[in-house]
Amino acid sequence: MRRKIFPVIVFSLFLALSSISLAERKEVKAMFGAHAWKDVIIANLPQFEKETGIKVEYEVLSEDVLFERAILELTSGTGSYDVIADVIEWVAPYAATGGVEPLDKYDAKYQLNLKDKIAAVRKAHMFKNKQYSLPINCGSRMFYYRKDLLAREGLSVPKTWEELKTAAKKLTKGNTYGMSMSARKGAIGVLNWMPWFWAAGGREWDGHRVKFNSEAGIAATQLWIDLINSKSTPPGITNFAIDDNKSGIMRGTIGMASFETAAALDLANQSKNPYAASMGFDLVPARFKKTKRTATAVLGGWGFTLTKQSRNKDAALKFLAWATSKSMDQKFALTFGQGAYPESYTSEAVVQKFPALPFVLNTLNGAKTLFPIPENQELADILTTELTAAFSGQKTAKQAMDDATSRMNDVLAKAGY
Amino acid sequence: LQIQTHSLKKNIFPIVMVLPALLIIFGVIVYPMLYAFVMSFCSFELLKMYQGIHFIGLQNYIAALKDPNFINSIRLTFKFLLIVIPVELVVGIAVAMVINSDHIKGKKIIRGLIIVPIMITPIVVGLMWLYMFDYDIGIVNYLLTSIGIPKINWLGDVDFVIKAVSIAEIWQNTPFVILLVLAGLEGLPREPYESALVDGANAWTSFLKITLPLLKPVILVALLLRTIDAYRVFGLVLALTNGGPGTATEVASMYVYKNGFKFWHIGYSSALSFLMLFIVLIVGLLYLRFLKVGWEET
């Protein structure tokens, strides 16, 4: 009998010891997105690993691939990853899978500094009032203009759409186009059009249904159709992304534009932009003088989520606390001019390097998230499809907004809203 | 008994050798396909797993056939095929004839250079052409303006955007037709050409009366392979236009991808995939019928 019991005891001890060693294994597996923040984190990882003894293994994936892999990982719940990066639009889909852990309860213990982050940004990383993601960086959209070109035509900075149309027409000369926007089909097109919708006093979503065929929606679409038809915009704007606008301004072929705040850093940099000294930044012009120009930008930015199936939550949370700490945030801001804490945008060293940052912070404070629901990808796809159909002359502004509203409401009704 | 055991061993050995490959094929192709087929009859929303997976019969298929966006994407895919396939075949045969002629030297080098576009992934080809089609700084408009033709808004104008995508597709895949036809040309017998020469036939007559009929099976194979491949066009469109503006370039595979991997309607996108498969199967069967006739005639 003893002979039989002995191997069983040894085997049990072995199992117990190995499970202890697994539990104490200080290793975090993460999915990073291909953005500048990952370079800063990777460069500083050796220091983190030395201080904590936690080894961080990571994979860097492009935005599209990351979203697909993350959703599949979170729904299958294999626990292969402890930390997965997200962008604001993915917070709701990630949370809907049930595979990510709300982080509120860990705030105090791990010093996640939730309350110290830019309020609008922190809120954008929430779903159903729970903090599912920790912001890493953020950006929004704003209005760029060349002060010298406006001055040459005797124009002041446009504050209304009528002033904008007049200025766009006057600035369009030779190889220079008056006004531009990132209007490419995709999330980018929606994010850049929404400020104009809000600047017309539009309200897109009441929690149940959308209403883009409102006066504001049709007017915002018509504004861009008018700008395109009057040839005040570059001919290819329905395929324009951030770099097309940025390089256009740097080449002197675009006088005014509305697109991502991330470009402000290069545009205000004299070594990169020959017109840097003449660059001006503002919120997008309002439809009428009386329209309040506050929340006129859509938030964008990256964050980190903790998977529910993580086998190393303690190590993962320590990594998250470090990667989203104030000191790392300063490094992000100094490297690529973005962060998640307000002080990173106003610190002397950062502002000296990126003078446009205090204004960017101004746009972030009033910025909002678009459709904070899991179906947001489908809604955004419908909206961008209809917008580009209108911009390319396939539909009128009213037809496009009617179709967008009807198709989006079908999706919402089907999803039970 | 000994003979029976020996025969069994003899039969089992090849089966054992092939079994791992069969298991892998079953695991990565057959099982996922069967699973997707089953899912196409289910309501399966990946972002709403709490709702579970429910059998809903043909509802996904009926919804797909009533979906104007899917119908539009199929119509657009066939429009795209009608542009690219004839051009690829005509240009492919013409270039292959030129390369195959006795006057051309350095055939091996030419052949090596020709396969370069096929080796580039479609998404990179898309990005390359995205810059080349740029309105202001693209080389295509530069060349047009240098010969007095006004600039074209290739990717923003609905009248031109499908043509722009087709040009990129033709650039990438015509070399495949060239290589296939070249291989066919090299295998043709010399005797019919010598007889035709004696009878006084010129080069054009020889091409029409001898080369084309003899090449018919090769051309039909090229037609079949290129149609199936072009029908699945995806990466190129994604990089060039993302399906826009509007739905001007939203081809069927892109619509299926969006429903499956952006909106996570797994059941519905499975049904869309099988409808796409069914359509290409019919086209393929028609081609095979012609192919059989072509072979029999040859």
**pLDDT at position A129 over 60:** yes
Please write the tens of the pLDDT for every residue from A174-193: 989 999 998 899 988 999 99
Q: What are the structure tokens assigned to B5, written together?
A: 């055991």
From residue B24, give the alpha-carbon distance in Å to each of A82, A218, A344, B27. 30, 55, 53, 5
> Cβ of A378 and B156 within 8 Å?
no
Please write the tens of the pLDDT for every residue from A64-96: 899 999 999 999 988 899 999 999 999 999 999
Query: Which residue bears the tokens 């779903």?
Result: A127
* pLDDT at residue A19, as a whole number: 45
Q: What predicted TM-score, i.e. pTM, was given to this entire model?
A: 0.89
Please write the tens of the pLDDT for every residue from A373-388: 999 999 999 999 999 9
pLDDT class of A10 with cuts at 50, 70, 90: low
CB atoms within 10 A of CB B71: 13
Query: Which residue bears the tokens 């010093």?
Result: A111
Tell me the average pLDDT across A152-164.
96
* pLDDT at residue A238, as a whole number: 86
Query: Buried (b) or exposed (e) across A121-139, using 16+ Cβ within 10 A?
Result: bbbbbbbeeebbbbbbbbb
**pLDDT at position B251 over 50:** yes
* pLDDT at residue A21, as a whole number: 47
Please write the tens of the pLDDT for every residue from A260-300: 988 988 898 889 999 999 999 998 999 988 777 665 678 89
d(CA B118, CA B122): 9
Interface probe with A: pick from B136, B159, B165, most Cβ of A within 10 Å: B136
* pLDDT at residue B54, as a whole number: 94
Chain B residues with CB under 8 Å of A237 CB are: 156
d(CA A336, CA B166): 38
**pLDDT at position A306 over 50:** yes
Query: Which residue bears the tokens 């010598």?
Result: B194
* pLDDT at residue B294, as a whole number: 63
* pLDDT at residue A360, as a whole number: 86
Instruction: Give the nearest partner residue to A185 out of B158, B242, B264, using CB atoms.
Output: B242
> Cβ of A184 and B244 within 8 Å?
yes
**pLDDT at position A317 over 70:** yes
Query: Buried (b) or exposed (e) across B21-35, using 16+ Cβ within 10 A?
Result: eeeeeeeeeeeeeee
- For residue A86, give the H/E element and its range: strand A83-87
Q: Are B39 and B267 in contact (CB under 8 A)?
A: yes
Nearest Cα to A408, choosing from A15, B106, A95, A400?
A400
What are the φ and ψ backbone dihedral angles of A67, each rounded to 5 degrees? Answer: -60, -45
pLDDT class of B101 with cuts at 50, 70, 90: confident
Tell me the average pLDDT across A307-325.
96
Q: Are B272 and B259 in contact (CB under 8 A)?
A: yes
* pLDDT at residue A25, as a whole number: 56
Chain A closest-CA separation from residue B241 CA (Å)? 7
Chain B closest-CA separation from residue A351 CA (Å)? 34
**pLDDT at position A212 over 70:** yes
For chain A, the maximum distance between any two Cα atoms, rounded to a whole number of angstroms, is 102
* pLDDT at residue A105, as a whole number: 96
**pLDDT at position A356 over 60:** yes
* pLDDT at residue A20, as a whole number: 46
**pLDDT at position B167 over 90:** yes
Please write the tens of the pLDDT for every residue from B168-188: 999 999 999 999 999 999 889
Provide long-range contacts, Cβ within 8 A and 24+ apart, for B239-242. B239/B122, B239/B123, B239/B124, B239/B125, B239/B126, B239/B127, B239/B130, B240/B126, B240/B129, B240/B130, B240/B133, B240/B155, B240/B164, B240/B165, B240/B168, B241/A185, B241/A239, B241/B155, B241/B161, B241/B164, B241/B165, B242/A184, B242/A185, B242/A186
* pLDDT at residue A22, as a whole number: 46
Q: Write down how long chain A is.
A: 417
3-state secondary structure A184-246: CCCHHHHHHHHHHHHHCCCCCECCCCECCCCHHHHHHHHHHHHHHHCCCCCCCHHHCCHHHHH
Pairing of strands A126-127, A302-306: unpaired
> Cβ of A96 and B48 within 8 Å?
yes
Q: Are A254 and A173 in contact (CB under 8 A)?
A: no
CB atoms within 10 A of CB A414: 12
DSSP-derived secondary structure for B143-190: HHHHTTPPP--TTT-TTTHHHHHHHHHHHHHHHHHHHHHHHHHHTS-S
* pLDDT at residue B298, as a whole number: 58
In chain B, pLDDT over 90 holds for what percent of residues? 73
The alpha carbon dihedral of A104, A110, A114, A118 has a sign of: negative
Instruction: Give the nearest partner residue to B246 out of A184, A374, A385, using CB atoms.
Output: A385
Instruction: Give the nearest partner residue to B242 out of A68, A186, A394, using CB atoms.
Output: A186
> Cβ of B136 and A377 within 8 Å?
no
Pick from A20-34, A143-157, A182-196, B112-126: least confident: A20-34
In chain A, pLDDT over 90 holds for what percent of residues? 74
Interface probe with B: pick from A388, A396, A408, most Cβ of B within 10 Å: A388
Query: Which residue bears the tokens 């069983």?
Result: A8
Please write the tens of the pLDDT for every residue from B260-289: 999 999 999 999 999 999 999 999 898 888
> Cβ of B246 and A239 within 8 Å?
no
Q: What are the structure tokens assigned to B132, written together?
A: 């080349």
pLDDT class of B1 with cuts at 50, 70, 90: low
Q: What are the structure tokens assigned to B100, written together?
A: 């195959």
**pLDDT at position A122 over 90:** yes
Q: Bigger pLDDT: A137 or B2? A: A137
Tell me the average pLDDT across B73-93.
97
d(CA B3, CA A399): 81
Q: Write down how long chain B is.
A: 298
Pick from A260-264, B34-38, B41-45, B286-290: least confident: B286-290
Chain A residues with CB under 8 Å of B48 CB are: 96, 374
CA angle at residue B113 from B112 to B117, to 5 degrees? Answer: 110
Pick from B22-26, B134-138, B268-272: least confident: B134-138
φ/ψ bin of A337: left (φ > 0), alpha (ψ from -120 to 50), beta (otherwise): left
pLDDT class of A365 with cuts at 50, 70, 90: confident
Query: Which residue bears the tokens 């035709």?
Result: B196
Instruction: Give the nearest partner residue to A377 out of B242, B244, B263, using CB atoms.
Output: B263
**pLDDT at position A323 over 90:** yes
Chain B closest-CA separation from residue A12 CA (Å)? 35
Nearest Cα to B40, choosing from B273, B292, B298?
B273
